[in-house]
Structures are given as C-alpha cells and as structure tokens.
Amino acid sequence: MRTLNVALGDRAYPIHIGRGLLDRADLILPYLKTKRVAIVTNDVVGPLYLGRLQAALEAAGVRVASVVLPDGEAHKDWPTLNRIFDMLLAERCERSTTLVALGGGVVGDMGGFAASCYQRGMPFIQIPTTLLAQVDSSVGGKTAINHPLGKNMIGAFYQPKLVLADIDTLNTLPARELSAGLAEVIKYGLIRDPAFLEWLEQNLEPLMAREPEALAHAIEVSCRNKAEVVAADETEQGERALLNLGHTFGHAIETGLGYGEWLHGEAVAAGTMMAAELSRRLGWLDGADLARTVALFERAALPVRGPTLGAGRYLELMSHDKKVEAGKLRLILLHALGKAVIHGEAPQADIAAAIEACCG
C-alpha cells in the first residue's frame, strides 16, 4: 500500500493506494467521529462492492446505512442528490455520521456535495472505484451537481477525511472507462510533468492491460501532481485552473451532446487536442508535439476529435465556463508539452479555427 498526504493544513488528508483496501475497515475506523456510516453508491458499483464494504464495517462494529443511486452523469442532478438527503434523514443520520462515497466520479461528486450540505456539513470519506475518480475526483475537494444550463454549476469545495483507492476495483471497470481515466492521467504529464509523460509513453500497454504495479504508479504520480497543485491553490484562484486543460472544450462537448453521451475523460481527450491545436496556432507547439499527443491518446483508445456541433455552438457553450472573468474566456493552453498556462488573450477566430480543425 502506498500513502500520499494531501497537505491542506487542518483539512489535510491521506490517500491510500493499493490492493484489497475495500476490506480494510481498520483503515477507516480512525477517521470516524462516531461508529455510524452512510454509504452512497450506484446501481453498477453497489452490486459488486457494497456488500463487502458494509460487511467489513459492520464486523468492526459500525452501523451502516446506504443508498444506491442510478449510474451515470445524466443523474448528477438535484432529484438524485435529494435521494441522498432522503436516506440520511429517514435513517436519522447525524452531522457526526460519516458519509462514504463508493463509486466513480459522479458518486464522489454527489456524495461529497451532499456531505457538505447535510446539516451544513458531515465528515466524508471517498472510495473511488474508477481510474478517473482515483486520479482526479478524489483529490482536491471539488464537489458538484449539474444544472441544465451548465455542468458542475452547483457545488462546494469540501475535503474528504480519507481516500481509499483500491486498485482491485479497476478489474471490473469497462474498457471505455479505463481509457477515460487515462485521459486525466495523460493530462498531468501534459500540464506539468514531462518525465511522467515519457513514462506514460513507455508504459501505456501495461496500463491498458491493468497491471497493478503500473496502475499504482500512475495513480500515485497523478494524485501527487494534483495534490501539489491543490495545496498551492485550494479554491482555484490561480494555478489550480491548469488542471482544467481540455476541460472548457470538453465541457462544451458534454453539455452540447447531453450529459452522459461522451464520458468525461473522452471529452477531455478531444478537448485537450483542441487546446493543443490552439497552442500550435499561437506558435507554442509544433506539429511533432501534436503528433506525440495524438499518439498517446490513440494508444489509450481515446477520441482525438470532437463531435461536429459547429464552432459557434462550442463558443456559446464555453461562455458559461466558471473560468470566465469580466466576460473574458480564459483557456488552459500549452506553452510546451509538460507546461500549461492560463491564457485569456486568444483571438476568438483562432479558438473557432482550432475547434473546427479538431471536429468531425
């Protein structure tokens, strides 16, 4: 088991990465305020892992309540969030009860937001079961639900007390979701870690084959990169925005097609290529850099082109982005492979051209 500490002062917390962690109630117990836990999971992950986690906790004397939500980004909305509140209230959970999110990014986002709101805040533990959640959503405390007019528009910054990343749970992950997780892994290399980018180029096949050692390393380095960024800028006033490489374009794809059509990681991959193409037009990347990026995404079985929505529709959707300030769209672009920057000066025509060049 590897352990990484997310340094956030009095909100610091550990991430344990390893095999068989789902049965390790001993890792959870020190973080409970009282011996009560409410587990939030979904109807895909629940049947696979809820029983095991619940049995381990109950064997340790913990009283467990749970709710099983419908799976998918399409349900990351208020009515589904309210099912968590209904369960917490029906089971008379207290603000000292710990909410445990067992599942992927959507379960983590909704569980975390529910924990932040229930009785104005209850303790929260994350057990991410997808690669995407293990390398991304489990670090940094961003929680949210979607609004018909925008993704992740309603939420909170709320840190977990503990994250358990059990690599064994990735064995049941559909191939498409493994790839989607790799999109965020590759992102860390692109934005700030050239050495990791090279390691990925050498180890993409073991990762795709789910070799535990390769996965553990990729998860640890990804989380360490994210933790460093988050520790420096918890509420995204500056540097943290760099983590959103490909996300402004990607969110437009997700919103434009309707939540759930494309996986988040797939949209990020295509969105990252748009950001890379725009960076090339600004003179920062060359054709070889783009080819290298495309190759890595393609080996990870990820889309490198977005759906044809029309550049105008992309720009319209992107104008709702949370990084818009004083009406100005700020994009995360690449000065080089391994070095992302926040840029608010890209000409609208260049943005549109980069989108068109990467669609269809």
Active site residues: 120, 142, 184, 226, 236, 240, 244, 247, 251, 264
Round to whole Å and give the CA distance between 332 and 326: 17
Residue 353 C-alpha from the chain's centroid: 28
Q: Which of 72, 150, 260, 338 binds a second copy (CB under 8 A)?
A: 150
319 contacts a second copy (rule: CB under 8 A): yes
Q: How far is CA 89 from CA 93, 96, 101, 241, 282, in A?
A: 6, 13, 17, 36, 54
87 contacts a second copy (rule: CB under 8 A): no
Q: Which of 5, 171, 172, 235 binds a second copy (CB under 8 A)?
A: 235
Could you tell me the two tokens for 90?
């029906």
132 contacts a second copy (rule: CB under 8 A): no
Total chain residues near a second copy (CB under 8 A): 36
31 contacts a second copy (rule: CB under 8 A): no
Q: What sign does the dihedral 293-210-49-102 (CA atoms) show?
A: negative
34 contacts a second copy (rule: CB under 8 A): yes
Q: What angle do CA 58, 61, 65 make, to 5 degrees?
A: 50
142 contacts a second copy (rule: CB under 8 A): yes
In the complex, least distance from residue 225 CB atom to a second copy, rounded to whole angstroms: 21
312 contacts a second copy (rule: CB under 8 A): no
Q: Which of 9, 30, 61, 92 binds a second copy (CB under 8 A)?
A: 92
In the complex, least distance from residue 214 CB atom to a second copy, rounded to whole angstroms: 33
Could you tell me the two tokens for 7?
């340094």
**Going by C-beta distance under 8 Å and a sequence separation of 6 or more, which residues neighbour residue 173?**
129, 130, 131, 181
153 contacts a second copy (rule: CB under 8 A): yes
95 contacts a second copy (rule: CB under 8 A): yes
**Going by C-beta distance under 8 Å and a sequence separation of 6 or more, which residues neighbour residue 160?**
13, 112, 124, 125, 126, 138, 141
Burial of 79 (0-12, 13-18, 19+ CB in 10 A): exposed
322 contacts a second copy (rule: CB under 8 A): yes
Positions that interact with a second copy (CB under 8 A): 34, 78, 82, 85-86, 89-90, 92, 94-96, 116-121, 142-144, 147, 149-150, 152-157, 235, 319-320, 322, 324-326
